[in-house]
Amino acid sequence: DAGVIQSPRHEVTEMGQEVTLRCKPISGHNSLFWYRQTMMRGLELLIYFNNNVPIDDSGMPEDRFSAKMPNASFSTLKIQPSEPRDSAVYFCASSRSGNTIYFGEGSWLTVV
């Protein structure tokens, strides 16, 4: 079975540009999570969806960040405008009804 698929794997962008990260959860999973990992703050939950509905977005840093899940097989995390402090590894993860959460390989974002 395919795991959680994220794209792009690596992105380097200039400050002020829009960044869109994409995620395809594991088929049949109904919960989707976006995490961010930095050296300073470790792993942070940004937002999670259940059945395509955002349940908790309290971890979203500020209005520059937005996430959508238009259907059960696709989600995006958008940063507009991007800033150097947004540089991090962004993980998408999914699970089935509160069971084990499986992670994608991560998207490495560098904002210069």
Partner 1 sequence: AQTVTQSQPEMSVQEAETVTLSCTYDTSENNYYLFWYKQPPSRQMILVIRQEAYKQQNATENRFSVNFQKAAKSFSLKISDSQLGDTAMYFCAFMKRVWETSGSRLTFGEGTQLTVNP
User: In this structure, which amino acid lies at residue 29?
Assistant: H
Say what the alpha-carbon torsion angle 23, 27, 28, 30 is, to the nearest 10 degrees. Answer: 0
Binding to partner 1, residues 16-35 (CB under 8 A): 30-31, 33
**Would you count residue 112 as binding partner 1 (CB under 8 A)?**
no
Q: Which is nearer to partner 1, 82 or 94 (CB)?
A: 94
User: In this structure, which amino acid lies at residue 54?
Assistant: P
Say what the alpha-carbon torsion angle 94, 39, 66, 55 is, to the nearest 10 degrees. Answer: 40
**Would you count residue 90 as binding partner 1 (CB under 8 A)?**
no
Q: Give the DSSP letter of residue 83.
A: -
**Would you count residue 73 as binding partner 1 (CB under 8 A)?**
no
> Which has the closest alpha carbon to 43: 75, 91, 109?
91
Of the residues 25, 82, 86, 95, which one makes contact with partner 1 according to CB under 8 A: 95
**Would you count residue 106 as binding partner 1 (CB under 8 A)?**
yes
**Would you count residue 48 as binding partner 1 (CB under 8 A)?**
yes
- Residue 94: how many other CB atoms lie within 10 Å: 26
Of the residues 2, 40, 42, 62, which one makes contact with partner 1 according to CB under 8 A: 42
**Would you count residue 101 as binding partner 1 (CB under 8 A)?**
yes
**Would you count residue 74 as binding partner 1 (CB under 8 A)?**
no
